[in-house]
């Protein structure tokens, strides 16, 4: 499928431009409401929307685009405060209708009949879920409830106020109170990072604030290294990385730390590594398990290709996948040749220790 994630394909550009122009043709009031900056952002959104649709078609997984449709609708509601939820719903559903029409009438061979049917079906589902979302105000996660909620809240509150030292002290105090590294990683830091994404999505914090919170959390992680690296070694190895041009690599870094804490040797490669470099790293380090994390669904096709390459070249190495991107799929990992999927790092470590003797 030539359109998938190919921003230089002229057909891709043509479709985005046609959708963009047709929306203003059908809704002249919208063009008057938007300044040049908003128009530019709207065009970028059109390209982004098509990318997500093509990702869903590529995997024959409508849940990817369904989840994205809900997400983008709520994001626009939070960003465009001058428009009510009904107006934004109408705008998005007009967009999905226009995109469907243009794809079905595109003069050049772009999608196969099967792919075109999937794209049309997924766009119809997007219209349905967007209409329902008008009266469904998305709530945050159970961030302020459950185990260690007060510690999570104190840590996040300090970060929201740019109080770096206070944030570090909150975690240090939690350690003094007897919270284990596993509890701090999974019940506090991981959930704070997820809530941070929710706050950005709701337009409550800016992107620079999100990056600041991520940076401080990375520095907090380094405070555990003496404890992590002093554990007895088990002569087991894991290699991990975030797939795609991901900024959201804190989760996979915490995963690597937790394996180190349990006595494994971890090789954390960071993010945005090309396939060849990953294969070379596997050759060099000879890991028992390779773990790939994907945060944005757009990078799922890249992950799939890397998984195939690893299995082909190193068939005995076990492969695990995880990350937020898989949550919005119809158990996509079950269709891949992977050995394990988990939404929690601790469960993954438990599984790994049972598998690798």
Contact 53, 122 (CB under 8 A): yes
With cut-offs at 50, 70 and 90, classify the pLDDT of residue 247.
low
With cut-offs at 50, 70 and 90, classify the pLDDT of residue 204.
confident
Q: What is the DSSP letter of 80?
A: -
* Alpha carbon distance 186, 256 (integer Å): 13
% of the chain residues with pLDDT over 90 = 62
In a domain, 1, yes or no: no
Please check whether residues 247 and 345 belong to one and the same domain. Answer: yes
CATH of the domain at 67: 1.10.490
Please check whether residues 207 and 174 belong to one and the same domain. Answer: yes
Strand 318-322 and strand 289-293: pairing?
Answer: parallel
Q: Which distant-in-sequence residues (6+ apart) come within 8 Å of 85 by Cβ?
A: 77, 133, 134
In a domain, 116, yes or no: yes
Which sign does the torsion angle of CA 234, 236, 239, 240 carry? negative
Please check whether residues 256 and 343 belong to one and the same domain. Answer: yes
Residues of the domain holding 102:
10-133
Residue 42 has pLDDT above 90, yes or no: no
Residue 198 has pLDDT above 80, yes or no: yes
Q: Let me know the angle formed at the C-alpha of 52 by 86 and 140, rounded to the nearest 5 degrees.
A: 55
* Alpha carbon distance 14, 222 (integer Å): 48
pLDDT digits (tens, 9 = 90+) for 209-246: 999 999 999 999 999 999 999 999 999 999 999 998 76
pLDDT digits (tens, 9 = 90+) for 62-112: 999 999 999 999 888 888 877 778 888 998 999 999 999 999 988 776 788
Please check whether residues 34 and 100 belong to one and the same domain. Answer: yes
Q: How many domains does the chain have?
A: 3
With cut-offs at 50, 70 and 90, classify the pLDDT of residue 15.
confident
The two structure tokens encoding residue 194:
């997820």
Please check whether residues 167 and 269 belong to one and the same domain. Answer: no
Average pLDDT (339-352) is: 93
Please check whether residues 199 and 297 belong to one and the same domain. Answer: no
Please check whether residues 86 and 19 belong to one and the same domain. Answer: yes
* Alpha carbon distance 70, 66 (integer Å): 7
With cut-offs at 50, 70 and 90, classify the pLDDT of residue 205.
confident
Query: Largest Cα–Cα distance of the chain, in whole Å?
Result: 68
Average pLDDT (311-328) is: 94
Q: Which residues pair with 274 in a beta bridge?
A: none
Contact 20, 42 (CB under 8 A): yes
Please check whether residues 125 and 155 belong to one and the same domain. Answer: no
Please check whether residues 212 and 238 belong to one and the same domain. Answer: no
CATH of the domain at 322: 3.40.50.280
Three-state DSSP at 270 gives strand
In a domain, 4, yes or no: no
pTM of the model: 0.80
With cut-offs at 50, 70 and 90, classify the pLDDT of residue 137.
low
- The backbone torsions φ and ψ at residue 172, rounded to the nearest 5 degrees and listed phi first, read -60, -40
Please check whether residues 185 and 242 belong to one and the same domain. Answer: no
Nearest-10 crossing angle of helices 36-59, 113-133: 120
Contact 243, 306 (CB under 8 A): yes
Question: 235 exposed, middle or buried (CB, 10 Å; 0-12, 13-18, 19+)?
Answer: exposed
- HSE-up (13 A, CA, CB side) for residue 306: 29
In a domain, 107, yes or no: yes
In a domain, 27, yes or no: yes
With cut-offs at 50, 70 and 90, classify the pLDDT of residue 141.
low
Q: How many residues does the chain have?
A: 357
The two structure tokens encoding residue 174:
């939690």
In a domain, 5, yes or no: no
* Alpha carbon distance 219, 249 (integer Å): 13
In a domain, 88, yes or no: yes
Please check whether residues 80 and 18 belong to one and the same domain. Answer: yes
pLDDT of residue 47: 87
> Of 108, 133, 158, which residue sits at a domain end?
133
User: CA torsion, points 267, 269, 270, 271, in degrees to nearest 10?
Assistant: -140
> Of 166, 200, 222, which residue sits at a domain end?
222
Q: What is the DSSP letter of 333?
A: G
Please check whether residues 70 and 156 belong to one and the same domain. Answer: no
> Of 103, 133, 163, which residue sits at a domain end?
133
CATH of the domain at 207: 1.10.1240.10
Q: Which distant-in-sequence residues (6+ apart) come within 8 Å of 147 by Cβ?
A: 183, 187
With cut-offs at 50, 70 and 90, classify the pLDDT of residue 145.
confident
pLDDT digits (tens, 9 = 90+) for 289-304: 999 999 889 899 999 9
In a domain, 33, yes or no: yes
């Amino acid at each position: 499928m030539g359109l998938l994630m190919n921003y230089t394909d002229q057909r891709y550009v043509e479709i985005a431009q046609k959708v963009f122009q047709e929306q203003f043709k059908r809704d002249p009031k919208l063009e008057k409401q938007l300044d040049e900056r908003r128009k530019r952002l709207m065009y970028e959104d059109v390209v982004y929307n098509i990318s997500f649709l093509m990702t869903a078609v590529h995997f024959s997984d409508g849940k990817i685009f369904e989840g994205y449709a809900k997400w983008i609708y709520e994001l626009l509601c939070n960003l465009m405060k001058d428009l009510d939820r009904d107006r934004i719903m109408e705008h998005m559903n007009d967009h999905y209708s226009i995109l469907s029409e243009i794809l079905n009438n595109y003069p050049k061979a772009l999608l196969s009949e099967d792919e075109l049917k999937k794209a049309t079906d997924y766009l119809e589902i997007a219209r349905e879920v967007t209409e329902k979302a008008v009266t469904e105000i998305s709530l945050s996660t159970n961030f302020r409830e459950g185990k260690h909620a007060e510690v999570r809240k104190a840590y996040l509150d300090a970060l929201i106020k740019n109080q770096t030292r206070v944030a570090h002290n909150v975690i240090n105090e939690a350690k003094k109170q007897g919270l284990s590294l596993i509890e701090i990683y999974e019940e506090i830091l991981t959930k704070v990072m997820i809530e941070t994404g929710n706050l950005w999505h709701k337009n409550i914090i800016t992107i620079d604030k999100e990056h600041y919170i991520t940076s401080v959390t990375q520095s907090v992680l380094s405070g555990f290294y003496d404890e992590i690296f002093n554990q007895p070694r088990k002569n087991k190895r894991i290699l991990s990385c975030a797939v795609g041009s991901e900024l959201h690599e804190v989760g996979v870094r915490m995963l690597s730390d937790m394996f180190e804490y349990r006595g494994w040797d971890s090789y954390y490669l960071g993010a945005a590594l090309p396939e060849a470099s990953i294969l070379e790293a596997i050759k060099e380090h000879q890991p028992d398990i390779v773990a790939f994390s994907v945060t944005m669904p757009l990078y799922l096709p890249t992950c799939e290709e890397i998984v195939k390459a690893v299995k082909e070249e190193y068939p005995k190495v076990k492969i695990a996948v995880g990350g937020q991107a898989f949550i919005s799929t119809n158990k996509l990992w079950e269709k891949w040749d992977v050995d394990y999927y988990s939404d929690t790092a601790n469960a993954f470590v438990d599984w790994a220790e049972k598998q690798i003797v």
